[in-house]
């Protein structure tokens, strides 16, 4: 009995030891969370259109325009986040960018988020609009087609190259800092609740500049990735139109790009990527009269806010399994003025009309037909530890960003807007009753859009 018991005990101990070793090896075999940063030059050539053809074409290059981003590699398919120094990428062109970067990273397009920073001395493109314009002898009026294709290919190549040498991530950092004297709400309301002034990016009228800041998000949010105590990547998020002065044909990444590059110089060896938040109704107009000297001043204020967020960063350990990616699709309601295409077609076909008005008609027509085809706009949310990053389309009003933050007050909620720019300005329901440039004239979505997007944001942020 004693011998038999001893033999059984040894067998049991060996079995337990084997199980423990198997568990250890299984844990060791799990892939770590990794990150790879990429960058590509997407500067347009001389003579090519800028800002969808609405401003003067390229006459010089003040700053090289960049595509910057990261690939996150966890225990599922890769996630790609990309920010372009362009005014916008619309409709099927946005789809094509997501597909190209997905192929390069070996993932699916619904795990790719492509956004623009919305600088106006930069290209904007939409191949659906180009097709409409080409039918009427205006090919290339909106953007340089060959260059746009090359820029997408170069960025995809940069992604493919970057993922060959990823870095291990052990911690994610999160921080926030206040940006002083940059952002102000563009819509200044009068006593009747209607828009009294539109405070554009460069506001020369000192009486309009003197109006209160209005509704803004004054904070820049930072998400950082670390290998132990070594910082690898910083993603920053701040909501404002990025223009100081523009429209003369001098290509620039403007003051937000300058702030990004200032921080990159202060953090050698760290990739710094910036995303524009929900800035559809936010500009620097209160603090900017369009004087060239204001550009570096605004850049320094944003960079100071970024440094403050960096200095207040808290780090938490993360693993590959902590990375979560959630998506949903929404049908954005079409603005009533776009339901009947008759006027749009007539304006597009009219050779006596100013080219810019014909481009505007083609852009409206391209988006209206996309919506009528049943297209649904994808939205996504990256969750990693205490960080949530929402990826949204259009020139979203800042109220969406503020509402999202209230839904998850215990976490850092960042928002990148200016994804697919096809919808144009996306206001709140009440904004459509107040008039103003964005919702009174050019928005392509109806007031019902608020209910649609708020419900989608709640779903994406749901724990």
Residue 14: is its pLDDT beyond 70? no
Q: In the chain, pLDDT over 70 holds for what percent of residues?
A: 94
- Which pLDDT score, from 0 to 100, does residue 3 have? 38
What are the tokens at 278? Answer: 């929900």
Q: State how far the Cα of 75 lies from the Cα of 12, in Å rounded to an integer.
A: 34
- Which pLDDT score, from 0 to 100, does residue 4 have? 39
Residue 330: is its pLDDT beyond 60? yes
- Element (H or E) spanning 18, and its range? helix 2-29
What are the tokens at 74? Answer: 């966890």
- Residue of 396, 336, 344, 388 lying closest to 366 (CA atoms): 344
Reported as half-sphere exposure (CB side, CA atoms, 13 A), residue 106 has a value of: 11
* Residue-wise DSSP of 136-187: TT-TTSSS-HHHHHHHHHHHHHHHHHHTTS-EE--EEEEEEEEPPS--EESE
Residue 28: is its pLDDT beyond 80? no
Residue 48: is its pLDDT beyond 70? yes
What are the tokens at 225? Answer: 């990735």
pLDDT digits (tens, 9 = 90+) for 352-372: 999 999 999 999 999 999 999
CA distances from 258 to 44, 65, 206, 348 (A): 18, 11, 26, 38
Q: State how far the Cα of 455 lies from the Cα of 463, in Å rounded to an integer.
A: 14
Residue 81: is its pLDDT beyond 60? yes
- pLDDT, mean of residues 111-139: 97
Beta bridge partners of 282: 185
Residue 172 contacts residue 227 (beta carbons within 8 Å): no
- Element (H or E) spanning 48, and its range? none
Residues 6+ apart with CB under 8 A from 407: 413, 457, 458, 461
pLDDT digits (tens, 9 = 90+) for 262-312: 999 999 999 999 999 999 999 999 999 999 999 999 999 999 999 999 999
More confident residue, 8 or 166: 166
- Which pLDDT score, from 0 to 100, does residue 58 have? 98
- pLDDT, mean of residues 67-74: 97
**Strand 112-116 vs strand 167-168: parallel, antiparallel, or unpaired?**
unpaired
Q: Residue 385's pLDDT band (boundaries 50, 70, 90)?
A: very high
- Residue of 339, 366, 329, 338 lying closest to 452 (CA atoms): 329
- Which pLDDT score, from 0 to 100, does residue 19 have? 45
Q: State how far the Cα of 91 lies from the Cα of 98, in Å rounded to an integer.
A: 11
Residue 10: is its pLDDT beyond 90? no
Q: State how far the Cα of 176 lies from the Cα of 310, in Å rounded to an integer.
A: 7
Q: Residue 31's pLDDT band (boundaries 50, 70, 90)?
A: confident
What are the tokens at 274? Answer: 């910036």
- Which pLDDT score, from 0 to 100, does residue 29 have? 54
Q: Where are the domains of the chain?
A: 34-330+367-461
- pLDDT, mean of residues 177-203: 97
Note the helical H segments in 71-138.
91-105, 127-134
Residue 7: is its pLDDT beyond 80? no
- pLDDT, mean of residues 450-458: 98
- Which pLDDT score, from 0 to 100, does residue 463 have? 80
Chain centroid offset of residue 243 CA: 16
Helix, strand, or coil (residue 212): coil
Residue 437: is its pLDDT beyond 50? yes
Residue 165 contacts residue 36 (beta carbons within 8 Å): yes
Residue 21: is its pLDDT beyond 80? no
- pLDDT, mean of residues 147-161: 98
Residue 142 contacts residue 124 (beta carbons within 8 Å): yes
């Amino acid at each position: 009995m004693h011998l038999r018991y001893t033999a059984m005990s040894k067998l049991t101990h060996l079995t337990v030891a084997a199980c423990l070793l198997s568990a250890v090896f299984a844990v060791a075999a799990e892939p770590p969370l990794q990150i790879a940063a990429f960058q590509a030059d997407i500067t347009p050539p001389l003579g090519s259109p800028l800002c969808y053809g609405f401003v003067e074409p390229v006459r010089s290059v003040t700053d090289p325009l960049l595509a910057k981003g990261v690939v996150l590699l966890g225990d599922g398919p890769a996630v790609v986040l990309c920010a372009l120094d362009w005014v916008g990428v619309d409709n099927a062109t946005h789809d094509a960018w997501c597909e190209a970067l997905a192929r390069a990273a070996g993932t699916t397009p619904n795990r790719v988020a492509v956004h623009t920073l919305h600088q106006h001395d930069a290209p904007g493109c939409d191949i659906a609009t180009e097709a409409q314009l080409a039918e009427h002898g205006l090919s290339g009026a909106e953007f340089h087609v060959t260059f746009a294709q090359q820029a997408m290919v170069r960025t995809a190549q940069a992604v493919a190259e970057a993922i060959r040498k990823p870095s291990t991530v052990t911690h994610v950092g999160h921080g926030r800092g206040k940006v002083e004297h940059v952002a102000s709400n563009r819509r200044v309301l009068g006593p009747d609740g209607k828009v009294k002034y539109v405070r554009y990016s460069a506001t020369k009228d000192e009486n309009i500049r003197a109006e209160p800041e209005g509704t803004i998000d004054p904070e820049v949010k930072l998400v950082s990735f670390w290998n132990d105590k070594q910082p690898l990547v910083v993603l920053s998020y701040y909501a404002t139109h990025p223009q100081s002065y523009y429209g003369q044909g001098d290509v620039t990444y403007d003051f937000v790009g300058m702030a990004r590059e200032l921080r990159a110089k202060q953090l050698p060896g760290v990739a710094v990527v910036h995303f524009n938040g929900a800035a559809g109704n936010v500009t620097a107009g209160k603090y900017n009269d369009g004087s060239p000297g204001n550009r570096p001043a605004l850049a320094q204020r944003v960079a100071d806010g970024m440094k403050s967020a960096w200095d207040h960063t808290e780090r938490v350990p993360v693993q590959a399994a902590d990375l979560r990616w959630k998506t949903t699709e929404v049908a954005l309601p079409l603005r009533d003025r776009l339901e009947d295409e008759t006027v749009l077609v007539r304006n597009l076909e009219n050779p006596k009309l100013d080219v810019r008005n014909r481009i505007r008609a083609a852009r409206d027509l391209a988006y209206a037909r996309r919506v009528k085809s049943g297209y649904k706009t994808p939205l996504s949310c990256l969750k990693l530890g205490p960080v949530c990053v929402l990826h949204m389309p259009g020139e979203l009003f800042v109220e969406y960003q503020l509402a999202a933050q209230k839904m998850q007050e215990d976490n850092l909620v960042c928002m990148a807007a200016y994804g697919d720019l096809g919808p144009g300005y996306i206001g709140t329901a009440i904004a459509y009753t107040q008039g103003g440039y964005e919702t009174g004239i050019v928005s392509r979505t109806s007031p019902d859009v608020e209910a649609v997007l708020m419900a989608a944001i709640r779903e994406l942020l749901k724990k």
